[in-house]
Amino acid sequence: TRTYVVTGSASGIGATTAQTLRDRGDRVIGIDLKGAEVEADLSTHDGRIDAAARATELAGGVIDGVIACAGISAPIAKTISINYFGVTELLEALRPALAAAEAPRAAVVSSMASLQPNSKEMVEAALAGDEAKTLEIADAVVAQGPEVGYLVYPSSKRAIARWVRREAVTPEWAGAGIALNAVAPGTVVTPMTEQLLATEEGRAMVDAAVPMPLNSHQPAQSIADVLVWLTDANNTHMAGQVIYCDGGADASLRGDDI
Ligand code: NAI
């Protein structure tokens, strides 16, 4: 059995991923605001460091897999704190425990939204590791109203996808034998999208932005299965990839543009 740390384990994709791992006999240490083995707020520096320390202790110092699902989609500055720094800072803090494992793996959840319009300035500030500056830019974007404020979410998902591609091949990750990858879902049926998908108007808006010719909206299980494979010991050579598991949305929108 392997020991996994799963963030966002109390709901949606994280909960389904945790259950899938437990069903096959693995040990899961969940991190979430509430209803998890480690209750912590990943929007703050202290919350991330504390969560990593407690998860590492519960794991006995060795963690085989980390799967980062926690995130929010609201058009507020905090979204990039959770979706980007709540992933990168936590993963960095858990890296020593991963490096101590025999077949360590990590996977994060980006999104189809990473391909949508975003704030280049916000993405660059995040990648530079400057959370204060990133929040300043995000606050300014949000202050311009909802038509501009929505940019925070795609920016957070673009930044995390690029972070994965940069970090995955460094001595700290690939060099330490840790496979690091991302999954980019289309529209997943979870509490995050419940309200949006409840009205015809909301569904039409979502489907125009994220066309899913293969089987339409996806269950959380479709993402959990990819996350579980990416963090399995069998994944010996996939690194730095952003896997679009999205009903064909990426191929529909980007086509030949790769
Ligand atoms: P969800 O809302 O069902 O679950 C998210 C979980 O993250 C919740 O349990 C929540 O408490 C936790 N969380 C939020 N803020 C936190 C914080 N500050 N500290 C600790 N935990 C926190 O959402 P869902 O749909 O399962 O989303 C999971 C991930 O998948 C997110 O990163 C989301 O952006 C991403 N995603 C979701 C899509 C969808 O259509 N549902 C599409 C593409 C990506």
What integer pLDDT is reported at residue 95 of this predicted model? 98
The pTM of the whole model exceeds 0.95? yes
Quote the ligand 1 centre to 256 CA distance (angstroms).
30
Q: Any idea what the Cα angle at residue 83 is, between residues 214 and 93, rounded to 5°?
A: 120
3-state secondary structure of 255: coil
Which atom of ligand 1 is the closest one to the Cα of 34? Answer: 11
Whose CA is closest to 188, among 216, 151, 213? Answer: 216
What integer pLDDT is reported at residue 210 of this predicted model? 96
Whose CA is closest to 42, among 17, 1, 9? Answer: 9
- The ligand 1 site (C-beta within 6 Å) comprises 8, 10-14, 32-33, 41-43, 69-73, 82-83, 109, 111, 185, 187-188, 190-193
Quote the ligand 1 centre to 120 CA distance (angstroms).
23
What integer pLDDT is reported at residue 182 of this predicted model? 98
Q: Which protein residue has the closest C-alpha to ligand 1 atom 44?
A: 111
Q: Which protein residue has the closest C-alpha to ligand 1 atom 31?
A: 71
- Mutation probe of ligand 1 site: the residue of 72, 84, 163, 197 with most atoms within 8 A of C-beta: 72
Q: What is the pLDDT along the chain (258 residues), one digit of tens a residue?
A: 999 999 999 999 999 999 999 999 999 999 999 999 999 999 999 999 999 999 999 999 999 999 999 999 999 999 999 999 999 999 999 999 999 999 999 999 999 999 999 999 999 999 999 999 999 999 999 999 988 999 999 999 999 999 999 999 999 999 999 999 999 999 999 999 999 999 999 999 999 999 999 999 999 999 999 999 999 999 999 999 999 999 999 999 998 887
The Cα 80–Cα 86 span in angstroms is 8
Structure tokens at 96: 């020593």
Counts of helices then strands in the chain (DSSP H, E): 12, 9
What integer pLDDT is reported at residue 147 of this predicted model? 87
Under a CB-based contact definition with an 8 Å cutoff, are residues 183 and 212 in contact?
A: no
Predicted complex: ipTM over 0.90: yes
Please confirm, yes or no, whether 84 is among the known catalytic residues: no
Which atom of ligand 1 is the closest one to the Cα of 110? Answer: 44
With tokens 């966002």, the residue in question is 8
- Considering the four listed CATH numbers 2.30.110.10, 3.40.50.720, 3.10.450.50, 3.40.50.300, the one that applies to the domain covering 3-193+219-246 is 3.40.50.720
